[in-house]
Amino acid sequence: MSDEDDLDDFEPDQDDLEKEDDEKDTEDWEDNRKEGEEYSEERMPTPLTEDMMKEALSLLCKTGNGLAHAYVKLEVKERDLTDISLLRSYIHLRYVDVSENHLTDLSPLNHLTHLLWLKADGNRLRSARLNELPYLQIASFAYNQITDTEGISHPRLGSLDLKGNHIRLVTDLDPQKLISLHTLELRGNQLESTLGINLPKLKNLYLEIKDAGSQT
């Protein structure tokens, strides 16, 4: 069975993937974010290394025609990482957790075309922009410094978490591309209106409008 067959049939169990503490205390996250934003000194680069990869990889699965195997899950939380360029060569990864680091760039993930699940909370991202990832179904970019919703166009994306960022306006959430999105989390931003949210499959929308104090 090919990778594509496996991914077509896959329905991720979010409880299994985030069983440790996905519902992390909001106050702790906000304190960490403020501390990061106030930190003005130049941080020493901390790239992801092969040694880190050896410790962080898990879940051995078949790849390609079923004759080869590769680890498909990576968890590198709280490593002070500033660079994940090494991931360009780990093309079989399906589950990636790079949360609680110091990342400003996720572009190496553009090479992970089998990616199903991504958690990048608590970094220094200013954008959630990635190339279209055909199998990505769950993505979380909570508690970063993201200012817009552009560059999110994954056709199988079902759940998108952008809470705790700096988003004022929702733009470029194309209903022709985000045809599977059913859950959108936008609380803790600086939203001025709900304009730009017009998604055909959306069932769960969480947001607050700036100054109005209203919540959906």
Closest CA to 3 of 60, 73, 63, 61: 63
pTM higher than 0.95, yes or no? Answer: no
When pLDDT is cut at 50, 70 and 90, the band that residue 84 belongs to is very high
When pLDDT is cut at 50, 70 and 90, the band that residue 20 belongs to is very low
pLDDT of residue 76: 98
Are residues 163 and 142 in contact, defined by beta-carbon separation less than 8 angstroms? yes
